[in-house]
Structure 1
Amino acid sequence: MVLFTCNRTEVYVASRELDEGIGVVQNFLSRKSGTDISQIKNYTYVHILYDAIRHLFRVASGLDSMVLGETEILGQVRSAYRTAYTNGSTSSCLNSLFQQAITVGKKVHRETAIDQNAVSVSYAAVELARQTLGDLKGRSVLILGAGKISELSVRYLVANGVNGVIVSNRSYNRALELAREFGGRAVRFEELYQHLIKSDIVISCTGAPHYVVHHRQVDEVLRSRPGAKILIVDIAVPRDIDPAVAELPGISLYDIDDLQYIVDRNIALRRQMAVDAEGIIEDELDRFMKWLGTQFVVPTVSALKQWAEEIKQKELRRALNRLGELAPHDRKVIGSLVNSIVNQLLHVPITRLKDYALTSKGHLYTEVLQVLFDLQVEEEQDREYILKTMIDGGKV
């Protein structure tokens, strides 16, 4: 199974032979990339079983991401697994592993809230708007500049309920393009003041070498809207907004330094939450390893159940034939009785066998059960090694 993200290429494999499994993956990467196998070996590293599973759980939880605690990777893990499963390239071992990894990722985000604090400047601006204005539903925003940061800011604001988007940019066509993407409208740069006064939020990031919003002009337009409260967030470097604007009544002005403080504080919070997340991952890893350690008894348990089912069906048919005509209700009662007896007889030996599977006597008791009940079980295969081969930084 292959997991691609913006900064990683990882191949997950379940293999019965460790060295052979690693070699197969490295040869595959060499063929697909047209890169000499020696270079592939230099750029890859391998995790095996316990370490590979821990790594996947950390990846799915956002603990191995460039942005600590981000949630996008969980969707990428789910998508990669779905693609591999659909194409028939996963084993039962990998199916169980990735289903559990997705579950662990959800649990980490649910129980630690590690993704709840903004760690990008754009999202920090939205967090600041919520803190200042409360609910953003129905609020209006004026965006000055139409670059990537402006685009992300609009995206986050709209996702949080803002529905009046106005974009102003030196290049009107670019402003038009961004406004259309979010159902807003574009205005000429020279018209920004008449729209600023109508907005609840102003986000500015133009890249201009000088101020684009000045104290005198804002003071003039504020007189037409007495009591107005406007949040202005200046993300630009150098600044777009004259700092003196902050002195005007009703204006709350924040700049990139204020946002960076929020980001730094939230990164520290995420690091604290990551400690709790690591604890969850270790608990889930221990639970999964115990489950994995019992899987060699599954064929024997299945054979025992099949053996009991065949005897049950044969004897039930014989008994019903002897009893002759019975009402459907009576047949159902007899069938339920037989099922209950068989299930109760099998419950203790199956449970004990699974318990012993985690001890040094697991294989012995499995063989004893096979002999005692004359079970026909395919020769036990060696445990699959779970491998994770990663191309460092995706560089090949």
Structure 2
Amino acid sequence: MERGIVLVGLNHRSAPVEVRERVAFANGRLEPSLHRLMAVEGVAEGAILSTCNRVEVVACGPDPAAVGAALPGFLAREHGVPEPALAGHLYTHTDREAVRHLFRVAASLDSMVVGEPQILGQLKEQYAAAAAAGASGQILHRCFHRSFSVAKRIRRETAVAEKAVSIGSAAVELSRGIFDRLADKSALLLGAGTMGEVTARQLLAHGVGSVMVANRTFDRAIDVARVLGATPVPWEHLARYLPLADLVIAAASGEGFLLPRAAVEEAMRERRHRPMFLIDLAVPRVLDPAVNQLGSVYLYDIDDLEGVVAQNRGARAREAAKAETIVDAEVDTFWRWFASLDVVPTIVALRERVEAIRRHEVERSLGALGALDPRQREALERLTQAIVNKVLHAPLTALRRHRTDPAEAFYVEAARRLFRLGTGATGEVSEERSARSARAPDGPPGELDDPDDEDT
């Protein structure tokens, strides 16, 4: 196969948050990075997925091994990180395994919280960025859109989403492990985006006494607070409201720490050191890890949610197993399509090659036989065409079977090698070669045996 799919990345299992945050891509700023990705030698198509739990680059090219070797360097250069610092945390998947991984990511089977719904929306948004930047082509378009369908099918046919909790609800579960009851507690939510709103809903659903919503855009904080029955808080007045919060959940993004140690220390003095529980859901982190050194302050980041997630794994495992079966079937379906991209041009090239030889030999025989009447010429044409069809029947049958049986993939490469079929970098038959074969050359170079191969 002349083309391949490669996925290189790291996630919450392969790398701690300290590493993930160093290579995270900012939302809305993917276009320049996508253009640089397309400039990597050998990359024909590309996309970038960056969430709080993973950073992955998907690419297609004629030499998947070379592309896979180049992508770690791309990630390192994009973020000014020494490549050796990433080496122990990166994983690489190629071809079928790359497709399988992408399908599992879309279906939330590879998430920290299996079944959480946010990942599909993030995947759609970031694929749209790749398409808008002109980085996606035929293969990634098909692959990503198929992953969206796989995710929907799994939600429809299994209860994996029902058994799961979102990142936000996992944060709530962790807070309930700190406080005996939530009814008399007040929560401050930093960030009113999708993750923040989901978390606020979970807090209220679990009986938190009151919720304050702070966002850089105050109108957005007002809108979310109105829907949830919460209290909007002006971003510039955080210092005033922070001492009122028993729980602080940060789901915002930004450069630097939103709450440095000094701000939390001052709030704790006003609280007379009543416990404060903070969860940092952001990557990069926006709460200063140093606040954990303060008395009665408990700070957890997104990696700490794994403990909450583990409590639900048993119930989700059975549904996840059903989902994995669906993924396997869908990968087979996609791979049949992908493999067929090489089958059709190979069949065309083989037919044209043999037809050129047949026509050349017929013309040479007519010259030796002398004048033949039309009926005799037609008989000669039918005879040679029948021979060609008989000779090609077995190889063409094997090639067509390859379109429905991934185990037969080697037949395409075998046909190309045995019949010396020229192909372009994308697996398409060279137009020049096809045209040359179709013109019935005057001399014998169309023969299957290479006259330069003396040992054959």
Relative to the length of structure 1, the TM-score reads 0.48
